Chains A and B, each alone.
Chain A
């Protein structure tokens, strides 16, 4: 597709249920990132993938959070036994090497808004 696609765009769930959030990156982008954004705040790093390998999982808040990626394609972020504090927008970004000193340019999807009741 032309851009990063995330689904669902909105998810309302009850406390204790599991949720899966999906990200379709831009074709050919080797790196994929997940961030969490609470209302009106900056982005909190969760995890990033290089291909289907995750060099850094340090941002995952607890063992209730997990993510996987199939090859250099779709990624799924799973939150088990959701809690009210998990309510936030979950943003996915994909990237390829840019032209400035090896820096990666991140292209973001519109996010999945999760509300835990």
Chain B
């Protein structure tokens, strides 16, 4: 059973467009992370959110943790070809360091 569902699964957009990726679960997480993975490499951490309702910004990327700590979103403003990759959310429940990863969103930004 996949605890973290991401949508959309695939996204192909033009450079300069905005997009939002969603990560949803019926479970509560004590922390939620977003990673980006490029072909042939391991995922790289982008951000960690730990407080319900928390919003973090990383240049053109905005991350939000849902109030109930069951979901999260990643918004990219003015996407660039360098944003292309597989975006993964990951969460850990309270009292454990078992990180479960989402189903992934494959983003392609066309120049």
Question: Which positions in A face B, CB cutoff 8 Å?
Answer: 4, 31, 33, 35, 40-45, 48, 50, 55-56, 91, 93, 95, 98, 100-111
Contact = CB atoms under 8 A, between A and B. Distances in A.
A48 B92 CA distance: 13
B66 interface: no
A44 B88 CA distance: 12
Contact of B101 (A42, A48, A50): A42
A103 B106 contact: no
Nearest to B4: A42
Contacts of A106: 33, 35, 43, 45, 90, 99
A45 B51 contact: no
A98 B98 contact: no
A8 B43 CA distance: 18
